[in-house]
Chain A
Amino acid sequence: MYDHDVLIIGAGLAGMRAALAATEAGVNVAVVSKVHPVRSHSNAAQGGINAALTDRGDDWRDHAYDTIKGSDFLGDQDAIEIMCREAGDEVIAMEHMGAIFNRDEEGRLGTRNFGGQRQARTFFVADFTGQALLHVLYEQIVKAGALVYEEWFVLSLIERDGECGGVVMMDIRTGKIEVVRAKAVIMAAGGLGRVFEPSTNAMICTGDGMSLAYKAGASLMDMEMVQYHPTTLKGSGVLISEAARGEGAYLLNSENDRFMLKYAPEFKELASRDVVSRCEQTEINEGRGIDGCVLLDVRHLGEKYISERLSQIRELAMDFANVDMAKEPVPIMPGMHYQMGGVKANVDGETGVPGLYAAGEVACVSVHGGNRLGANSLLDTLVFGRRSGVHAAERAKNTSHLSIDDSAAKPDRENIERLLLNDKNESFGKIRFDMGTAMKEHFGVFRENSSMAEGISKLSLIKERAQSVYVADKTNTFNTNLLFTLELGFMIECAETIASSAFDRTESRGAHTRTDMPDRDDENWLKHIVVSDKDGKPNISYQDVVITDWTPTVRQY
């Protein structure tokens, strides 16, 4: 058994930012991650990070309004204000830590345009901003000497009388299971993309954090809000950054029409993501697509500009679609990308469970509401990662460990034994694929009542089948087969909460678009859907949206 003041689950941007903040506060900190920190999915954020810097003539209030409008007025405005007000400091802090960032002629940080915003306020490192920031935070973790349990897998949170007091985790390399006590646990385990097929998300994005917190008594919020990114590569579904459109790319249909001019005359290709994805899907559904795709065209930007600012996506398009973007348009389609919802947390990261905090994609503060703006996710991870770290450290200074011993690991040990002894024959890969395609079909860009009902019954069959997964690998060493089986359980739980929340919301708002109820209904639905676990079933309640200065209006781009 190990003891730490603050234990952080996940070593992406939110987790490492929290770790730094907690370390600076002078408490004992450890981070646990199922992959090495630099393998985390924050890597995949390409385009940049938003901040309204006043010395560049921008105003955080404008950023806040763009975010609120982007959220289709489901975002909580008090939280959005905090995020936008603290954005500048976070970006500058990252620069001081070593992030290189593209510059302007005077050597100051330069910006690019991004979707749904009236100002160029996206700071960036070419088109691998997430990777650049992730590596910088890792460097800082190394410098601070913070302890990282690399390649340990969290099996469960330990909850006693409604409080969280630690975790049970497994060393992937040896199979050893340990109990770790912590006065505060920060969940920063990232998203759940793999619940959908296809998804831009890495294979590690399996909703572990949401499921673990949910089972430990925390609530999930806005789970119906699943973002489809407008530009993912045909076939592989690999992400092509919004930076392409930020730099001026066109979207074309089979008739060579820039169709966004028709749907969003002001913002055009840079309308918010939910809007652009819906427009693309409409073009495709109405027969103006090409093989299930539309085209992204950057040729007019010129080869030099493309190779300087969009080098990685050019490489990706060559590697994964055999297209040189400098020479021809690349076929793209909307692809599942981000979960706006997550573990319900306040602006200090506190969940409803004392001792448990949440930050980053795993959390729902809710700053993204019905639709996240591009380049607000990196910002979310840093601002709320830091705040969680500070507040968790504060709690740790004023509490003692709960009385927990090694027996806390017993249920997990037994569960793993049971899985290894299972002699049934279902394959986790097949079940995950079936779940993912069902989620795409019934809870994708467009939703509808009877289709969602069908999706829900498919999910219950999938849950049944998951009881019979066969784990072929019986060893203790790097048993990825066992890990996938455990992750499948997490994913199914997440899928259920997405499905029940989506089915419940009888309007269209943000990413949740119902063909049978196409209008937004502020009278009845200016509220969050909150799901908690009640005897193994999702139980729904509601929470009003926090409105400060901005009254909901018609949303047009």
Chain B
Amino acid sequence: MEVKLSVRRYDPESTNTVPHFQEYQLEMDEAATVLDALIQIREDVDGTLSLRCSCRSAICGSCAMRVNGEAGLACNTKVIDALPSDGTAIVIEPAGNLPVIKDLVVDFQPFWDQVKSIEPWLQPAGEEPEGEYLAPDEDMLHLAGVVSCILCGACVSDCTVLEVDSNFLGPAALAKAYRFVGDPRDDADGKRLKALNEEGGVWDCTRCMKCVEVCPKGVAPMDRIMSLREKVMDAGHTNTNGARHATAFVDSVRHSGWLDELKLPIKSFGIFNLKAMISLIPLAIRSQRAGKVPPLIHKNIPEVENVRRIFDKVENKK
């Protein structure tokens, strides 16, 4: 099978340090992966191509990169699935949101710094038992879904928040944080949740789902972040924009059956937060012009009591 690859090249030592795309044409087996193709380039066509790769079986996390604009592991992405139907080349780029060192190799330092910042080690209370800590198997099985994170950075590469805010802890570090908060043996929840409630923590996620989509191991970082939000609020940290936003959201829907978009920012930021209120004025004007201002009088939907019954049912279940 004939395959075209367009690979983003960058050599910091070259006189031409502008990244550019280089096209390669290869003859590949139907079962070949994108990594097989890149290795073939490196071994038979162009030895100057740099990339990280090692295990070839989706466990070491070395070969996260963007294939056709989306992050994933080159080793478990099949060429045949990545081939564009219009006959153009498969586009290979380095992972996003991290500085490029050379070709497909990015600098992971910011990534490791994020992971390290959540104190990623078990912090149990008191004396160690002589044998193992007793812990329910289902709790451990649940954690296995997060422990299986291989820290490949695919989620960080495509995180839409990190694209604009490098202060955000990012999906991988937050999933790792969840792994400890959710561990019955860990006793540092109070400290951990307080830190996660800070700026750059759980409330900065915009729930775009991108990390869930690109994760090659089914870790679903965003779902972990949402669980952390609940735990943060359950721990009594309700005095943040994020927590107030969540509460306002629920209150509004429970009360009227739908979202009161006018009240939402006021409740989230607090009516006396003048700075935030003023900063919303341009948005309000733009919304006005676009005809998107919600009605000033927020009416209940018909049969709103049915909505309230749903809330009651969900809350009783908890």
Contact surface of A with B, Cβ cutoff 8 Å:
35-36, 38-41, 43-44, 55, 92, 95-98, 100-110, 125-126, 128, 131-132, 135-136, 139-140, 142-143, 173, 202-204, 235-236, 238-239, 308, 312, 315-316, 319-320, 322, 427-430, 470-473, 475-481
Is B71 an interface residue, CB under 8 A from the partner?
Answer: no
B-chain residues with CB within 8 Å of residue A43 when the two chains form the complex: 55, 59-60, 150
Q: Is the CB of B55 within 8 A of A202?
A: yes
Choice from A105, A107, A143 contacting B121 with Cβ under 8 Å = A143
Chain A nearest CB: distance from B134 CB in Å?
4
B-chain residues with CB within 8 Å of residue A315 when the two chains form the complex: 58
Determine the distance from Cα of A202 to Cα of B183 in the docked complex, in whole angstroms: 31
Q: Is the CB of A142 within 8 A of B116?
A: yes
A-B contact pairs, 6 of them (CB 8 A): A103-B136, A103-B140, A131-B59, A140-B121, A203-B54, A312-B59
Q: Is the CB of A139 within 8 A of B13?
A: no
Chain B nearest CB: distance from A515 CB in Å?
31
A39 and B43 in contact (CB under 8 A), knowing A96-B128, A102-B140, A139-B120? no
Chain B nearest CB: distance from A146 CB in Å?
13
Give the one of B59, B61, B112, B119 with max A CB within 10 A: B59
Residue of B nearest to A175 (CB): B13
A98 and B121 in contact (CB under 8 A), knowing A41-B55, A429-B42? yes
Q: Is the CB of B134 within 8 A of A108?
A: yes
Determine the distance from Cα of A243 to Cα of B124 in the docked complex, in whole angstroms: 30
A-chain residues with CB within 8 Å of residue B50 when the two chains form the complex: 473, 477-481
Is B65 an interface residue, CB under 8 A from the partner?
Answer: no
Q: Is the CB of B60 within 8 A of A477?
A: no
Choice from A36, A95, A102 contacting B133 with Cβ under 8 Å = A95
Determine the distance from Cα of A188 to Cα of B166 in the docked complex, in whole angstroms: 36
Choice from B47, B56, B122, B141 contacting A203 with Cβ under 8 Å = B56
Choice from B12, B76, B128, B131 contacting A477 with Cβ under 8 Å = B12
Give the one of A98, A103, A203, A204 with max B CB within 10 A: A98
Determine the distance from Cα of A260 to Cα of B55 in the docked complex, in whole angstroms: 30
Is B268 an interface residue, CB under 8 A from the partner?
Answer: no
Chain A nearest CB: distance from B129 CB in Å?
8
Per CB-CB distance, the 8 closest pairs between chain A and chain B, nearest first, are A429-B43, A472-B47, A98-B122, A103-B137, A107-B134, A139-B121, A473-B48, A202-B54
Q: Is the CB of B57 within 8 A of A320?
A: yes
A142 and B144 in contact (CB under 8 A), knowing A38-B151, A316-B57, A427-B43? no
Determine the distance from Cα of A143 to Cα of B188 in the docked complex, in whole angstroms: 14
Determine the distance from Cα of A204 to Cα of B61 in the docked complex, in whole angstroms: 13
Contact surface of B with A, Cβ cutoff 8 Å:
11-14, 31, 39, 42-44, 46-48, 50-62, 76, 78, 101-103, 105, 108, 112, 116, 119-122, 124, 128, 131-137, 140-141, 143-144, 147-148, 150-151, 183, 185
Q: Is the CB of B121 within 8 A of A142?
A: yes
Q: Is the CB of B105 within 8 A of A478?
A: yes
Chain A nearest CB: distance from B75 CB in Å?
9
Q: Is the CB of B120 within 8 A of A142?
A: yes
Chain B nearest CB: distance from A503 CB in Å?
30
Give the one of B57, B102, B112 with max A CB within 10 A: B57
Determine the distance from Cα of A104 to Cα of B31 in the docked complex, in whole angstroms: 40
Chain B nearest CB: distance from A111 CB in Å?
12
Q: Is the CB of A478 within 8 A of B44?
A: no
Q: Is the CB of B47 within 8 A of A126?
A: no
Q: Is the CB of A101 within 8 A of B140?
A: yes
Q: Is the CB of B122 within 8 A of A480?
A: no
Q: Is the CB of B61 within 8 A of A312?
A: no
Chain B nearest CB: distance from A129 CB in Å?
11
Q: Is the CB of A139 within 8 A of B57?
A: no
Q: Is the CB of A106 within 8 A of B56?
A: no
A-chain residues with CB within 8 Å of residue B131 when the two chains form the complex: 55, 92, 108
Determine the distance from Cα of A506 to Cα of B305 in the docked complex, in whole angstroms: 86
Chain A nearest CB: distance from B39 CB in Å?
8
A-chain residues with CB within 8 Å of residue B44 when the two chains form the complex: 427, 429-430
Chain B nearest CB: distance from A280 CB in Å?
20
Chain B nearest CB: distance from A224 CB in Å?
26
Q: Is the CB of A312 within 8 A of B148?
A: yes
A-chain residues with CB within 8 Å of residue B39 when the two chains form the complex: 429
A238 and B56 in contact (CB under 8 A), knowing A38-B151, A128-B148? yes
Residue of A nearest to B59 (CB): A43
Determine the distance from Cα of A308 to Cα of B105 in the docked complex, in whole angstroms: 35
Choice from A95, A107, A110, A173 contacting B101 with Cβ under 8 Å = A173
Give the one of A100, A140, A173, A320 with max B CB within 10 A: A100
Chain A nearest CB: distance from B106 CB in Å?
10
Determine the distance from Cα of A132 to Cα of B116 in the docked complex, in whole angstroms: 17
Give the one of A44, A110, A139 with max B CB within 10 A: A139
A-chain residues with CB within 8 Å of residue B133 when the two chains form the complex: 95-96
